[in-house]
Amino acid sequence: MSLWQALFSPRAIALIGASGDAAKNSARPLRLLRKHGYSGRIVPINASRGEVLGERAYASLTDAPGEIDHAFVMTPSESVERALEDCGARGIPVVTVLSDGFADAGAQGAARQERLAASARSLGVRLLGPNSMGLVDIPGRVVLSANAVLEMDALLAGTTSVVSQSGTMLGTVLSRGAARGLGFSKLVSVGNEADIGVAELVELLAEDSATQVILLFLETVRDSTRLARAARKSHAAGKPVVAYKLGRSRLGEAMARSHTGALAGADAAVDAYFRDCGILRVDWLETLFEIPPLLAGRAPPDLARAPRVAVVTTTGGGAASVVDRMGVLGIETLAPVEPLRARLAALGARSLDSPIIDLTMAATDKQYAAVLDVLLDTPACDAVLAVVGSSALFHPQLAVEPILRSKRGAKPLAVFLTPHAERSLALLAERDIAAFRTPESCADALASFFAWRAPRTLPERMEDASPPVWPGELPRRGKLDEAQALALFSALGVPSVESAVARAPRYEHGIAYPVAAKILSPDIEHKTEAGAVALGIAGSSEYDARVRTLLSSVAESRPEARIEGILVQRMEFGLAEAIVGYRHDPVVGPLVLVGAGGRLAELYQDYALRLAPVSEEEAAAMIETVKGLATLRGYRGLPRGDIPALARTLAALSRLALVTGQPVAEAEINPLIVKREGVVAVDGLVVMKE
Amino acid sequence: MSLWQALFSPRAIALIGASGDAAKNSARPLRLLRKHGYSGRIVPINASRGEVLGERAYASLTDAPGEIDHAFVMTPSESVERALEDCGARGIPVVTVLSDGFADAGAQGAARQERLAASARSLGVRLLGPNSMGLVDIPGRVVLSANAVLEMDALLAGTTSVVSQSGTMLGTVLSRGAARGLGFSKLVSVGNEADIGVAELVELLAEDSATQVILLFLETVRDSTRLARAARKSHAAGKPVVAYKLGRSRLGEAMARSHTGALAGADAAVDAYFRDCGILRVDWLETLFEIPPLLAGRAPPDLARAPRVAVVTTTGGGAASVVDRMGVLGIETLAPVEPLRARLAALGARSLDSPIIDLTMAATDKQYAAVLDVLLDTPACDAVLAVVGSSALFHPQLAVEPILRSKRGAKPLAVFLTPHAERSLALLAERDIAAFRTPESCADALASFFAWRAPRTLPERMEDASPPVWPGELPRRGKLDEAQALALFSALGVPSVESAVARAPRYEHGIAYPVAAKILSPDIEHKTEAGAVALGIAGSSEYDARVRTLLSSVAESRPEARIEGILVQRMEFGLAEAIVGYRHDPVVGPLVLVGAGGRLAELYQDYALRLAPVSEEEAAAMIETVKGLATLRGYRGLPRGDIPALARTLAALSRLALVTGQPVAEAEINPLIVKREGVVAVDGLVVMKE
The helix/strand/coil state of A237 is coil
A248 with B151: Cβ contact below 8 A: no
Q: What's the gap in Å between the CA of A320 and the closest CA on chain B?
A: 7
Q: What's the gap in Å between the CA of A638 and the closest CA on chain B?
A: 7
- Surface of B (422-441) touching A: CB under 8 A: 438-440
pLDDT tens, B603-659?
A: 788 899 999 999 999 999 999 999 999 889 887 777 899 999 999 999 999 999 999
User: Which of chain A's residues have a Cβ under 8 Å away from the Cβ of B604?
Assistant: 604, 606, 627-628
CB atoms within 10 A of CB B634: 11
Closest alpha carbon within chain B to A353: B106
CB atoms within 10 A of CB B306: 10
The helix/strand/coil state of B299 is coil
By Cβ distance, the residue of A166, A360, A637 closest to B316 is A166
- At A581 the pLDDT is 95
Closest alpha carbon within chain B to A151: B394
| Cα separation, A67 vs A11, whole angstroms | 8
Helix %, strand %, coil % of chain A (to 5): 40, 20, 40
Q: In order along chain A (690 residues), what is the average pLDDT of each group of 10 residues?
A: 96 96 94 97 94 94 95 96 97 97 90 97 97 97 97 96 96 97 98 97 98 96 94 97 87 40 70 96 98 96 92 95 94 90 90 85 94 95 97 96 94 98 98 98 98 80 69 89 91 94 92 91 78 86 91 88 92 91 91 87 86 94 93 82 96 93 93 95 91
The DSSP bridge partners found for residue B215 are B162, B242
B317 with A168: Cβ contact below 8 A: yes
- Surface of B (383-402) touching A: CB under 8 A: 389-391, 393-395
Closest alpha carbon within chain A to B361: A25
Interface mutation target, options B172, B263, B626, chain A, most CBs of A under 10 Å:
B172
User: Which of chain B's residues have a Cβ under 8 Å away from the Cβ of A317?
Assistant: 164-169, 217, 219, 246
By Cβ distance, the residue of B178, B248, B421 closest to A324 is B248
By Cβ distance, the residue of A25, A175, A606 closest to B420 is A175
Residues 6+ apart with CB under 8 A from A607: A263, A264, A579, A593, A594, A595, A596, A601, A626
Q: What's the gap in Å between the CA of B640 and the closest CA on chain A?
A: 13
By Cβ distance, the residue of A147, A351, A390 closest to B148 is A390
User: Which of chain B's residues have a Cβ under 8 Å away from the Cβ of A353?
Assistant: 106
ipTM exceeding the 0.95 mark? no
B171 with A389: Cβ contact below 8 A: yes
- At A465 the pLDDT is 59
- Indicate the average pLDDT of chain B: 92
B325 with A529: Cβ contact below 8 A: no
Interface mutation target, options A172, A311, A397, chain B, most CBs of B under 10 Å:
A172
By Cβ distance, the residue of B315, B440, B526 closest to A168 is B315
Q: A with B: how many residue pairs have Cβ under 8 Å apart?
A: 219
DSSP A532-565: -EEEEE-SHHHHHHHHHHHHHHHHHH-TTPPP-E
B599 with A635: Cβ contact below 8 A: yes
B636 with A599: Cβ contact below 8 A: yes
| Cα separation, A232 vs A211, whole angstroms | 16
- At B566 the pLDDT is 94
User: Which of chain B's residues have a Cβ under 8 Å away from the Cβ of A604?
Assistant: 604, 606, 627-628
pLDDT tens, B71-91?
A: 999 999 999 999 999 999 999
- Surface of B (459-518) touching A: CB under 8 A: none
Interface mutation target, options A74, A151, A153, A168, chain B, most CBs of B under 10 Å:
A168
Q: What's the gap in Å between the CA of A441 and the closest CA on chain B?
A: 10
Residue whose C-alpha is closest to residue A196's, from A243, A244, A135: A135
| Cα separation, B274 vs B248, whole angstroms | 14
- Surface of A (111-130) touching B: CB under 8 A: none
B250 pLDDT tier (thresholds 50, 70, 90): low
- At A263 the pLDDT is 53
- Surface of B (120-179) touching A: CB under 8 A: 146-149, 151-152, 164-169, 171-172, 175-176, 178-179
CB B652 within 8 A of CB B607: no
B390 with A168: Cβ contact below 8 A: yes
Closest alpha carbon within chain A to B175: A420
Closest alpha carbon within chain B to A323: B249
Tell whether pTM > 0.90: yes
B318 with A171: Cβ contact below 8 A: no
Q: What's the gap in Å between the CA of B379 and the closest CA on chain A?
A: 25
- Surface of B (235-294) touching A: CB under 8 A: 246-250, 284-286
Closest alpha carbon within chain A to B416: A172
CB A243 within 8 A of CB A268: no
Cβ of residue A345 closer than 8 Å to a chain B Cβ: no
Residue B261 has pLDDT above 80, yes or no: no
By Cβ distance, the residue of A179, A418, A600 closest to B168 is A418
CB B102 within 8 A of CB B130: yes
A248 with B168: Cβ contact below 8 A: no
Cβ of residue A603 closer than 8 Å to a chain B Cβ: yes
User: Which of chain B's residues have a Cβ under 8 Å away from the Cβ of A248?
Assistant: 324-325, 327-328
Query: Which range has the worst mean pLDDT, A108-122, B58-72, B237-251, B433-447?
Result: B237-251
pLDDT tens, B276-318?
A: 999 999 999 999 999 999 999 999 998 988 999 999 999 999 9
Residue whose C-alpha is closest to residue B326's, from B425, B445, B433: B445
Residue whose C-alpha is closest to residue B95's, from B66, B117, B115: B117
Q: What's the gap in Å between the CA of A464 and the closest CA on chain B?
A: 38
pLDDT tens, B204-224?
A: 999 999 999 999 999 989 899
Helix (H) or strand (E) holding A342, with range, is helix A340-346
Peptide bond into B613 cis (omega under 30): yes
Q: What's the gap in Å between the CA of A325 and the closest CA on chain B?
A: 7
Q: For residue A68, how many C-alpha atoms fall within 13 Å in the half-sphere facing its CB?
A: 27
List of long-range contacts for A19-23, beta carbons under 8 Å, 24+ apart: A19/A46, A19/A52, A19/A74, A20/A46, A20/A49, A20/A51, A20/A52, A20/A53, A20/A57, A22/A53
- At B254 the pLDDT is 33
By Cβ distance, the residue of A25, A285, A627 closest to B361 is A25
Burial group, residue A506, by CB count within 10 angstroms (0-12, 13-18, 19+): exposed
A105 with B351: Cβ contact below 8 A: yes
A285 with B440: Cβ contact below 8 A: yes
- At B464 the pLDDT is 54
- At A257 the pLDDT is 42
End-to-end CA, chain A:
44
- Surface of A (73-102) touching B: CB under 8 A: 100
B452 pLDDT tier (thresholds 50, 70, 90): very high
B603 with A320: Cβ contact below 8 A: no
pLDDT tens, B527-561?
A: 777 778 888 888 898 899 999 999 988 888 888 98
